[in-house]
Amino acid sequence: MTKTIAFVLYPGITVLDLVGPLQVLSAFAEFDPSYRVAVVAQGLSVLGTDTPLKVAPSHTFDQIPEPFALIVPGGGPPAFAALGNEPLLDWVRRAARTAEVVGSVCTGSFILGAAGLLEGRRATSHWGVRRLLAKFGATPVAERWVEDGPVLTAAGVSAGIDMALRLVERLAGEETARSVQLFIEYDPQPPLGPIDWAAADLSSFEPHSKAMLETGLADQPEMLARLMN
C-alpha cells in the first residue's frame, strides 16, 4: 500500500516551509515508490504565500483523510490566523489520529498546538516565538528540530529541510537519507557563516512578534489574549 506524506496548505504560508521539506520527501519518493507526497488544502484553489509566488494543492482534505504522515508549514500573521481555521484544524486532528508521523515547520507548530497535539511534548518553532508553545502545553526546545514520539517539529524556515532529512532517516535508514541529501545537493555553506545564537537578541524581535500576533489574531481575541498574557 502506498504511504502518503501530506503537506498542509493554507493562505499565506512561508514558501520554504513548504517546498524545502517537500523537495526532500519528493526525492525520497523517487528512491522508494512505496511513498508518495501530496499537498492538501480545503479546496483546490490557488493560494497566495508570503512571496509573490502562488501555489495550488494537489488534493483536498477529503481526498486524503488518513495520510501516513502530515507536515504543517508555518508563516507570519497568516499562520496565526490559521489557528481559527476550523476546517484546517479539524483535518489535522483527524489525520493525526492514524498518522504515524505528525510534523511542522516554523510557526506551523502553533497549528499543531491549537489542534491539541503538543500537550506534554517537547517542540520547537521560530526562535522569536518559540517560548509561546508553552501556552499549548508543550515544552519549548531550542533545537534545529525536535522529535518526540510521532511528532517532529522544526525551527524556523530552512530547518524544515533538516527535519525532513531526519524523517527520511527514520523511515529508510541513514544510507537512503544521505543519498537524498546528495541528490538535492544540500550542503549549506552560508557566506556569512553560521548564526551566532548567543548574540540573538530576543527583545529586539519582540515588537515584530507582537505585531505578527496582533495582525494574525485580530479576529480571535481569546487566542490573542492566551498567547500575549
Amino acid letter at 148?
D
Query: Total domain count for the chain?
Result: 1
As beta bridge partners, residue 75 has: 13
State which residues form the domain around 47: 3-228
Per-residue model confidence as pLDDT tens digits over 74-124: 999 999 999 999 999 999 999 999 999 999 999 999 999 999 999 999 999
The answer to whether 174 is a known catalytic residue is no
Per-residue model confidence as pLDDT tens digits over 180-212: 999 999 999 999 999 999 999 999 999 999 999
Task: Give dist(CA 111, CA 104) in Å, integer.
Answer: 8
Residue 1 confidence (pLDDT) above 90? no
Task: Give dist(CA 208, CA 198) in Å, integer.
Answer: 20
Per-residue model confidence as pLDDT tens digits over 167-179: 999 999 999 999 9
CA distances from 79 to 142, 153, 170 (A): 20, 15, 27
CATH number, domain at 143?
3.40.50.880
Residues in the chain: 229
Which one of the listed residues 89, 106, 168, 217 is annotated catalytic?
A: 106
Contact partners, residue 133, CB within 8 Å, separation at least 6 = 109, 110, 113, 118, 123, 124, 125, 139, 140
Question: Please, is 176 exposed, middle or buried when counting C-beta atoms within 10 Å of its C-beta (0-12, 13-18, 19+)?
Answer: middle
**Do residues 182 and 196 touch, judged by C-beta distance below 8 A?**
no
Task: Give dist(CA 65, CA 85) in Å, integer.
Answer: 17
Task: Give dist(CA 209, CA 132) in Å, integer.
Answer: 11
